[in-house]
Structure 1
Amino acid sequence: MALALRILTTGLHGGHPALDFVNTLDWRDRPVADGGPEDMLVSYDALLAWCRRLGIIGAPTQAELDRLAAGKAAQAAAVLQEAIALREALHRLAQAARLGKPAKPADLETLNRILLRYPEGRVIAATGSRLGWKAHGEGLELGSPLGAIARLGADLLVTAAPNSIRCCAGPDCGWLFHDTSPNKRRRWCSMESCGNRAKARRHYERVKKHA
């Protein structure tokens, strides 16, 4: 129940679905002595819930994948590990882009392997008077959402301006975000969380100094 609530309520501050997916490892830079990072991808069900929350899959696809996973527990667990490997590769690739460093071949290999393994499986479908994308049922696999995540991440890495991928300045946070502000001076994943904590720390230090 706590995980389900967190999936529904955790802020999406990455500015891009691929970075929100990367941020499912919360408090990435927190030392183990202080509790360490918190991984929100703890099961295949959690992976599907995150993909639904990020708009990567819809309710019908989530239900169908849940049905498929029920009889393929070992395969679902393998897909979860593949998702975590993709998340970490995207994190390192985004960090390299942010810092102006070359991408590591192993991370590109991970991304490209998933792009090739799970090709686009969508068709145009009508919902009333509107048209939209729909997963092609015949090509649906337990790992199909990973292909969509990989394509989103690849598109961001190829098209984003080098200085538009940034890392939150909050201590131990580690969240990445796509800074689309005109002057590219955004510092925090969100002002409501790390931004407010920084303001509180500055206030405490001023009060302590003058005490």
Structure 2
Amino acid sequence: MPPAPADPRPLTGEPLAIDLLNTRWIDTEGFHDLLEDVQGLAVWLDSPPVRQALGGAGVRADAATLRPLLQTRAALDALVDQRPPYRADAVAGLNSVLDHGRIRHRLTPEGPATDVELDAPSWQPAWAAAVDFLRLLAERPERIRPCANPNCVLHFYDVSKNGNRRWCSMAGCGNRAKASRHYARRSQG
């Protein structure tokens, strides 16, 4: 099987849950959805952050894997810009994804171990993204943010020291905002 094409998304490298949300973006050519087909799913699964988050497990890029991912992305989309108390329908959406797996703790001769048990292997990326979102909420929920550009649909997890990141990327939306402010000052002057 030939390697998947290069990832076309403008923002990658975010935590798995945010990376899944960022499979949709807007640019000068319009709206894009990487997960509109199985070929896009193969690109997403082959991206280094996703491979790392999934522990290098060979997940198949097929319709059985795509359906749970789309369900999870919709659930995350319903929750990402909320703060507690969360809407009941949004909570139910994420919990319905989480219901497809669990973490099993056990003792082995080598010591404590944990195993992820899933209804089906096709749920691994979707369930892992849902669990990752819970981790982000537990650690620093205020650091999960939408880009400050009102025309951008991307999100990020702010890991800056001061926690004051505003843009999905300084090279993209941040520079456009700076240029716009500069142009506005020059035209008023």
Normalised to the residue count of structure 1, the TM-score between the two structures is 0.68
1:93-133 residue CA offsets vs partner (Å, 9 max, x unmatched)? 12102xxx521222222222222213359xxxxxxxxxxx9
Deviation at 1:187, TM superposition (A): 1.0
Alignment of 1:138-177 (within 5 A): 141-161=121-141, 163-177=142-156
Give the Å deviation of 1:200. 1.5
**Structure 1 residue matching 2:70: 3-state secondary structure:** helix
* Counterpart for residue 11 of structure 2: 11
- 1:195 Cα deviation (Å)? 0.6
- 1:154 and 1:164, CA in 2 relative to 1: closer, same or farther beyond 3 A? same
- Report the CA distance between 1:175 and its aligned residue: 1.5
Is this contact kept in 2: 1:13–1:189, CA < 8 A? no
How does 1:86-101 map onto structure 2 within 5 Å?
Answer: 86-97=72-83, 101=84
In the TM superposition, what are the counterparts of 1:183-202 in structure 2 within 5 Å?
Answer: 183-202=162-181
- Alpha-carbon distance in structure 1 between the residues aligned to 2:156 and 2:22: 9
TM-score norm. by structure 2 comes to 0.74
Please list every run of 5 or more consecutive structure 2 residues that lacks an aligned counterpart in the other structure. Answer: 105-112
CA distance in 2, matches of 1:165, 1:139: 29
Match for residue 20 of structure 2? 21
Amino acid at match of 1:19: I
One-letter amino acid of the structure 2 residue matched with residue 151 of structure 1: V
Change (3 A) 1:43 1:58: farther
- Name the structure where helix makes up a greater proportion of residues: 1
CA distance in 1 between partners of 2:42 and 2:130 (Å): 15
Q: Which has a greater percent of strand?
A: 2
1:82 aligned onto 2:82: no
What amino acid maps onto 1:150 in structure 2? A
* Same amino acid, percent of matched pairs: 31
Asked if 2 retains the 8 angstrom alpha-carbon contact of 1:26 and 1:174, the reply is: yes
Contact preservation (8 Å) 2:147, 2:155: yes
- Equivalent residues, number: 178
Instruction: State the Cα distance separating 1:26 from its structure 2 match.
Output: 0.8
Are 2:105 and 1:105 equivalent residues in the alignment?
no
